[in-house]
Homo-oligomer: A and B are copies of this chain.
Amino acid sequence: MNSEASYADWIAVDWGTSRVRAWAMKNDVPIAEAHSDQGMGTLAKDAFESALLALIDPWLGVRQTKVVACGMVGARQGWAEAAYSDVPCTPVSENHTRPPVKDTRIDVHILPGLCQRKPADVMRGEETQIAGYLAKYPDFDGVICLPGTHTKWAQVSAGEVVSFRTFMTGEMFALLSKSSVLRHSLTKGWDEETFLQAVSDGLSRPEAMASRFFSIRAESLLSALDGASATARLSGWLLGAELAAARAYWLGQRVALIGNATLSKHYATALGAQGVATETADATKVTLAGLFAAYEHIKEQVS
């Protein structure tokens, strides 16, 4: 194999808080991938360039290579702040930030996140996934839900993000199941019927949420509630409460799900039980499509 063949046209980077992934790209096709745990949260400002080079060095040739990055790398405490774009706006804009670099082989562009003034909200990274989804379905008009640690619900119309809302459901599930008293009662299994019942309970009486959590502990002490049911119940209650608060986003809407496969499946099941049909997209594919859309903008600006 000719080593020339692995040189990248450009490099795509998804740089989150706890992890960074990079792809060597030929046009819109990834030809190599590398990742590390050097997420934004682990790095001082002057450590980003070397963390990046450690991943992409083998892909760099003599010609300068454009690197297009999205995610928390553009946060205030990241490599260089990429100021938010205010919604309503297109998910990918020209407001990218170019951090100073020492290695002349790379030209780094960090994409901005989106913000909403009222109710106050922000995203960094998901806007690139939305852009990727819209690159594939330019006429999409509806809601994109991005399940994750901080799930985002975004209203999309005419190629723009109109409004969005973030739910900490994933982080709350992780905290309650791993760090609270409920950790003694939960195991790794799953019970789909219990989950759907809990979604329904959470959705129909979200105001009772605060009184529900401890009953998991009490039932496991008093009547040996099994750990798989407990896990499905906590997850269902939290998701039901999210769906209650996000009702305006999904009721009577076309909903696209972008995210981790297992989590997206739970959202699809829960929404399906409410009569909402969903379509799903692979998170990595739409991230790369969004970064490619941004790369094409950048190329045009330069040429």
**Chain A 149-178 residues near chain B, CB threshold 8 A:** 150, 165-169, 171-172, 175-176
Q: How far is the CA of A176 from the CA of B168 in the complex (A)?
A: 10
Q: List chain B residues, Cβ under 8 A from A179.
A: 175, 179
A119 contacts B210, CB within 8 Å?
Answer: no
Residue of B nearest to A117 (CB): B222
| A8 within 8 Å of B (CB atoms) | no
* Chain B contacts for A121, CB-based, 8 A: 214-215, 218
Asked if A217 is an interface residue, CB under 8 A from chain B, the answer is yes
Given known A209-B241, A210-B241, contact A223–B120 (CB-CB < 8 A): yes
B interface footprint on A252-293 (CB within 8 Å = 1, 0 otherwise):
000000000000000000000000000000000000000000
Chain A interface mostly helix, strand, loop or mixed? helix
Q: Does A244 contact B (CB under 8 A)?
A: yes
Q: Which A residues from 173 to 225 make CB contacts under 8 A with B?
A: 175-176, 179-181, 206-211, 213-215, 217-219, 221-223
**Which residue of chain B has the shortest Cβ distance to A182 in the bound complex?**
B168
Tell yes or no: A14 within 8 A of B by CB: no
| Distance between Cα atoms of A150 and B176 in the complex (Å) | 13
Known contacts A206-B207, A209-B206, A210-B206: A221-B122 contact under CB 8 Å: yes
In the bound complex, how far is the Cα of B211 from the Cα of A246, in angstroms?
8
Interface size band for A: 35 or more
Task: List the B side residues contacting A207 at CB < 8 Å.
Answer: 206-207, 241, 244-245
User: Do B218 and A115 touch across chains, with their CB atoms under 8 A apart?
Assistant: yes
A235 to chain B, nearest CB (A): 13
Q: Is residue A242 within 8 Å, beta carbon to beta carbon, of the partner chain?
A: yes
Residues of B within 8 A of A246 (CB): 210-211
Which residue from chain B places its CB closest to the CB of A84 in the assembled complex? B222
| Cβ-defined contact, A120 with B244, below 8 A | no
Shortest distance in angstroms between A44's beta carbon and chain B's nearest beta carbon? Answer: 17
Chain B residues, Cβ within 8 Å of A167? 210-211, 214
A45 within 8 A of B: no
Say whether B175 contacts A180, CB under 8 Å. yes
Chain B, Cβ-Cβ closest to A223:
B120
Could you say which residues of chain B place their CB within 8 Å of the CB of A176? Answer: 172, 175
Say whether B171 contacts A180, CB under 8 Å: yes
List, in ascending order, chain B residues with CB within 8 A of A117's CB.
222
- Interchain residue pairs A-B with the least CB separation, the first 3: A120-B218, A206-B207, A166-B214
Report 25 cross-chain contacts, Cβ distance below 8 Å, ordered by A residue: A76-B221, A117-B222, A119-B215, A120-B218, A120-B222, A165-B211, A166-B211, A167-B210, A167-B211, A167-B214, A169-B210, A171-B181, A172-B172, A172-B176, A172-B180, A172-B213, A175-B175, A175-B176, A206-B206, A206-B209, A207-B207, A209-B241, A209-B245, A210-B242, A211-B246
